[in-house]
Structures are given as C-alpha cells and as structure tokens.
Amino acid sequence: MKQCKVTVFAKELSIRIRRVKGRNLHATTTIFLGLSLAFFVMVLGCFINNRAKKFLSSNEFYFPQLATFYPMSPSPSCSSSSAHSLRDWIAPMELSHSVSDEELMWRASMVPHMVNYPYNRTPKVAFMFLTRGRLPLALLWEKFFKGHEGFYSIYIHTSLELNNEPPESSVFYKRRIPSKPAEWGRATMMDAERRLLANALLDFSNERFVLLSETCIPLFNFTTIYSYLINSNKSFVGSFDDPRKMGRGRYNKRMWPTISLSDWRKGNQWFEVHRRLAVEIVSDVKYYHIFENHCKPPCYMDEHYLATLVTKTQPDMNSNRSITWVDWSRGGSHPTRFVGKDVSETFLNRVRDGFNCSYNGNATTVCFLFARKFEANTLEPLLRIAPTLLGFNP
C-alpha cells in the first residue's frame, strides 16, 4: 500500500514538473524525467516496504494474532511472501490473540457454504473449561485424554491471571484463550462462555462443544463420551419451563414482544452444543441485548439466556437436558459439593447409570457424561477407581 501511494505521488510530481516547464521543455524530456523519477521512488518504496515488513515480522513474535487471524491477507510487497497451506485456514496455530470480542464473534460466525470438506475431517469434541483459577483435577483429565489426540481440542478461560504455563507434556499446555473477569449470574459470565465458543469455532474440525468447570469430572472413558456426543443428533442444553418465582418470576415484561413468557426457559449453565447451535450462539445479537438489558440479578443470565435462545431458534435440535450431573437433592441455593470420602464406585455408578432419558429417540439409562462440584481432595480417590470404573488407560 505504501508503495502504491509512493507511485501516485511520483505521478503527481511528474505532472507538476510538466506544468511548470511544459511549454519550454520538449514533451519527451518531461516524460523521461518523470518516469525515471517514478522508477527511483518505486525502488525507494520497495526498500522502505521491506524494512517495514521486517519490523512487522519481528512484531509477530509478540503479537502472534497477526499470523493467526490474517493468514490469507495478501502481502503487497515486491518480494514473494511465504505460502500458506489449507491448514492455516482451518484452525489457528496459536490460541493467543488480541482481537476484540466483537471481531472474534464475527470471525467465528463464518460458515462454509460448501457441504463437503476438501480435506479429511475428523470431527473433534471441544472441551471448554470455564474456571476461576487452576484446574485441581487436571491429573484426572490428563489420564482421560491420554491416547486420544486428534479427537479433541481443549480451551481454558480463566478469570485469574495465571503466570505459569503447565509443562509441555500436559494436554493443557498453551490452551488458554484470552480471558476477562466473569461474574456469576451476570452478562460477563455469558460473555466468557461465548468467548470460549468463538475461539473453539475457529477450528473447523470441532463439531461438539462442551462447557466444563474446574469441579467437573468425566463419568466415562474418552471413547464412550466421544461417540455419545458425536453420534447424537441433538444438543444438550438444559431447558425447561419453571412455573415458580425462580423461573417465570424472573421474566421481564420489557422483553416482549421479542421474547414472550411462553418462550421463557430456565436451565443449567453447563451446556453441550452441536456446531450449528454454537454458531447461532456467537452470532446472536438480538436476544443477547434484550437479556443484557432486562435480565439482571435476581434474574441470572446464565440460567436463562441459552435455554431461551435455543427454544426460540432451534427447538427441535435440543434434547432439553443437560449432560452434566449436579446434585440439588440436599436443597438450598447451592448444589452439593463432594469431598474425598463421598467418592466410591457405588456412588459414581448411580450417576452413570441410574436415570431414565432418551438418546436419539431411544430410551437409555446413560443420561450424564460429566458430574460437577468435586472438591480438589476427590482427586486421589478418583484416580484410584479410574482404571476400573472409568476405564482410563492406567
């Protein structure tokens, strides 16, 4: 671009020279002078441009988003640019970037128009960890993922600044996305979930997207969970009509007519969605702004926004049940937190196999793939029973 400007400037200059001396000098002399000036300026332009490029590429080291987000941008230079392969377009090489949320959502909302992929696409499950800090159960997850590379992607959104990266051998190594503080029950929590979805959508191989917290555990081995999700033709977003005060009572009449009381739903924050629904969620501005303005505590956006959005946009694509189990049986406003002594094979088997629901139109007792609210001290007993019960490779 710089070079183009320089060329235009050179042309202008040659015109001006011609105006001043035009009558006296022979026309060819003017043209010759102009052309040689233009040539000189062009060479100078190239030189400057190359210098600028060198400067930029040294910046790329610090701002890898330039390479990640604009792999296709043609470089208007005199020297040849490095060639990009399809690989650079279908998944970002680096998760770190500094694009704004608005820019990110826009990019993530892009959907290929062609039905078939021009490469061998193995669908992956994106495991999106929304955490407040560290992952105390990371070791359990490491064992869960071991040996299944190529079938999953991991994304971590953490509100806290964590300075140390896990070791290179860890599945969590360099899997953190640019994060912002997220407050429970507020729009910032929804923003964090959308940020996770958007980052995960940039990898075109991600087909299913599951949101997990630092207290979540898997209830089955990887292959079982993978095939359950990949083969399901519905998303798992908890969504029901709660007639009580803590359900319909949180509906705000100002949402009408875009959202009516009969559209209003409640559900568990911990969703699992298909790619089509993930795109719908990051693309939504219509419902999002209504919720942002009219669903504030005691209306908790993360309990109503997705449940209602799915009902409005893709009701037939949702199973309306969550895939993540949590225990509300002890009452109160918070679910049970499990500690080390609670963990046993009998207990986990009850969660793994003790419910009735439907899966692809068939009745099943396997209704939950993940469970929540496991304290850090459950790690040791969980690791002990994992090889036999969860079937992880020891």
Ligand X SMILES: *[C@@H]1O[C@H](CO)[C@@H](O)[C@H](O)[C@H]1NC(C)=O
Please report, as ranges, the residues that interact with ligand X according to CB under 6 A.
Answer: 221, 223-224, 233, 239, 311, 315, 318-320, 354-356, 360-362, 391
In the complex, what is the shortest distance from the CB of residue 386 to ligand X, in angstroms, rounded to a whole number?
11
Task: Return the number of the residue (157 or 275) whose C-beta is nearest ligand X.
Answer: 275
Determine how many CB atoms are found less than 10 A away from the CB of residue 147: 11
Helices 101-108, 275-283: crossing angle, 10 deg rounding: 140
Q: How far is the CB of 363 from ligand X (least distance, A)?
A: 8
Tell me which H or E stretch contains 301: helix 301-313
Nearer Cβ to ligand X, position 98 or 365? 365
DSSP 192-222: HHHHHHHHHHTSTTEEEEEEE-TT-EESS-H
Q: What are phi and psi of 133, to 5 degrees?
A: -155, -125
E strands, the chain, are 124-131, 152-158, 206-212, 217-218, 272-274, 324-325, 357-359, 362-364, 370-371
Closer residue to ligand X (CB): 30 or 239 = 239
Q: In one letter, which amino acid is 218?
A: P
- Choose between 153 and 239: whose C-beta lies nearer to ligand X: 239
Distance CA 99, CA 68 (A): 11
Angle at 132 between CA 189 and CA 201, to 5 degrees: 55
Virtual torsion, Cα 28, 32, 33, 34, nearest 10 deg: 100
57 within 8 A of 22, measured Cβ to Cβ: no
Q: Find the shortest distance in angstroms from Cβ 270 to ligand X.
A: 17
- Please state, in angstroms and rounded to a whole number, the distance separating the CA atoms of residues 274 and 259: 23
Q: For the CB of residue 313, give the shortest distance to ligand X in the complex, in Å.
A: 11
37 or 366: whose CB is closer to ligand X?
366
CA atoms within 13 A on the CB side of 256: 6
Instruction: Output the residue with the shortest Cβ distance to ligand X.
Output: 360
Minimum Å gap between C-beta 59 and ligand X is 45
CB of 277 to ligand X, least distance (A): 13
Report the nearest approach of ligand X to the CB of residue 358 (Å). Answer: 7
Q: Pick the closer one to ligand X by CB: 80 or 231.
A: 231
Q: Which two tokens stand for residue 72?
A: 């296709």
**By C-beta, is 69 or 392 nearer to ligand X?**
392
